[in-house]
Amino acid sequence: MIRWALLSAHYRQPLDWTPELLEQSRKALDRLYGALRRAKDVPMDQALEAPAEVIAALEDDLNTPQAISCFFEVSSAIERAVTAGDTVAIAANKARLIEAGALLGFLQADPDSWFEGDASDDLKAQVEDLLKRRVEARTAKDWTAADAIRAELDALGVVVMDGPAGATWRMKD
């Protein structure tokens, strides 16, 4: 996260180091890891290289902000492919994103590990059980129970992210 914050500005420009920059960096990495998490069931193509746009940006006076913007273009392509169910495009773009990340030392962790942080196995099991109970409560339209479970997860330091494919979670910062 700190590396992302440092590379978010061009090396010739001043860097406005603030807590907001770190939060912004965390959200950016969450977005990229989120795309990889949604594509985790599709094996990636092994023969692809990093996107030419990323390499061109880095060759252009080490323009890391431009290279980073390319990460989001590839991430968006993954999201569109996931929505369309296009496994060929998912595999190709997943490989492109991971290879692009490798150039700058990003996106090398397992997406689930990124979101789970340093949670113990016991905590992970507890969270998964609570999420299962929350899904059951929501299915039964028992909103009070679902909200209570979400509050319990919040007290454990867990952020629940609801999406079309179900709920995922991550540890709070």
Per-residue pLDDT reduced to its tens digit, 95-135: 999 999 999 999 998 898 888 877 788 888 888 899 889 98
Our count of domains for the chain comes to 2
Instruction: Give the pLDDT of residue 101.
Output: 92
Q: Does one domain contain both 110 and 123?
A: no
Q: Could you tell me if 127 and 169 are in contact, meaning their C-beta atoms sit under 8 angstroms apart?
A: yes
What residue ranges of the chain have pLDDT lower than 70?
47, 164-165, 173
Q: How many angstroms separate the CA atoms of 109 and 32, rounded?
A: 12
Confidence at residue 127, expressed as pLDDT on a 0 to 100 scale: 87
Same domain membership, residue 110 and residue 122: no
**Are 65 and 142 members of one domain?**
no
Residues 97 and 48 occupy one common structural domain: yes
Max Cα separation, the chain?
57
pLDDT at position 91 is 92
Are residue 17 and residue 88 in the same domain, yes or no? yes
Phi, then psi, of 9 in degrees rounded to 5: -115, 150
| Domain that includes residue 125, residue range | 117-171
> Same domain for 38 and 83?
yes
**Residues 72 and 102 placed together within one structural domain of the fold:** yes
